[in-house]
Amino acid sequence: MSGDFQEWVGREQVASDRIDRNRAEALRATLESKDPPVAEGAALPELWHWAYFWETAPLSGVGRDGHAARGEFLPPVPLPRRMWAGSRLSWHAPLPVGAEATRRSTILGVEQKTGRSGRLAFVTVGHRIEGPQGLAVEEEHDIVYREEASPDAPAPPPEPAPAEAPWRRSIEPGPVLLFRYSALTFNGHRIHYDRPYASGVEGYPGLIVHGPLLATLMVDLARREARGRRIARFSFRARSPVFDTAPFAVCGAPEGETARLWVEGAEGQLAMQGEVGFG
C-alpha cells in the first residue's frame, strides 16, 4: 500500500445542523424506543446524534460502495471494504431537540497493518459536538478498511457471547429496519440495503446490520433497564458482522457504576461488545 497518509492527520471538517424533532421522532419509532414522543427542548437521547450532521455528497461524488469518494476529508486509502470498527464517547451537556449544533471533526490517526484477512488500514476520527450549553459530545470513531473478500479465505472462529445476560432484548432484523436507519443517517453504504451488491461484490451472506445501529440498540437497552440513570460515557468494539438473515440479541449486565453490553449473533457468537458508565 503506497503512502502512509500521515499528512492527513490533523485535517479538520466543520458541520452544523439543527436537532430536528421529526428526525428524532422517526428514529424513536424505528428503534421502537420506550421513550415518550419527542418534544421540542427535550434532551436528545445518547447516540441519536448519529442521525444528524449528514455528509451530503452529490451522487457524482460517491464511490462504488455508495460512500462519498475518499480524498476530501478522509484519506484516499486504496482498500475497498469499509467498516465501523468502534467508538469511544462521553457526554457533557444535553443537545436539546430543536437547537442548533456544530460538529468539528479531526483526523486523529492513520495506521496500516497486515492481519489474518490481509492488508488493513485504520483511520481514527475525533468529533466534538457543541450545542447551546457548550461541549455536548466527544467521540473517537475508528474506521477499518480491508481488501476485497477472498472466497477461499476461511472465516476466523467466532468468540462465544457471555452465557449470562440479566438484560436481554431480541431483535428481528430485516431490510425495512436497515433501510430506515440508512435513510435517517444518510448512509449510502450499499452493504446495508443492496443485497446483490453485498453478496455478489463484497461476499457477505446477507445485508449487514449497521455497526452504529447495533451500538444504539445496546445503549437503548441500558436506558430501558437502568431508567433514570444518566449515561456519561460509552465505548464499543465490533467483533463480527451481524446479517439480516436471522434474529440477534442485545444483552447487558449491570456492574455498579457501569454496565457491560454486547450483541449476541444468531449462533451465539459475540458480535459487538461495549461498556457504559453512569454518572
Instruction: Give me the average pLDDT of each 10-residue run along the chain (279 residues).
Output: 82 97 98 95 98 92 84 85 93 98 97 83 97 98 87 73 96 96 96 94 93 98 95 97 96 97 97 97
User: Tell me, what's the pLDDT at 152?
Assistant: 61
User: Tell me, what's the pLDDT at 151?
Assistant: 59
Please state the domain extents for the chain: 6-278
- Spatial neighbors of 259 by CB under 8 A, at least 6 apart, are 167, 222, 225, 226, 252, 253, 275, 276, 278
**Is the distance from CB of 218 to CB of 45 less than 8 angstroms?**
no
pTM for the predicted model, two decimal places: 0.94
What cell numbers appear for 12 in the block? 479538520
**Using CA atoms, how far apart are residues 107 and 119, in angstroms rounded to an integer?**
21
User: Tell me, what's the pLDDT at 154?
Assistant: 62
| Inter-CA distances, 170 with 143, 217, 220, 251, 263, Å | 27, 10, 13, 9, 10
CATH superfamily to which 6-278 belongs: Hotdog Thioesterase (3.10.129.10)
**Using CA atoms, how far apart are residues 247 and 108, in angstroms rounded to an integer?**
36
What cell numbers appear for 51 in the block? 442521525
User: Tell me, what's the pLDDT at 24?
Assistant: 98
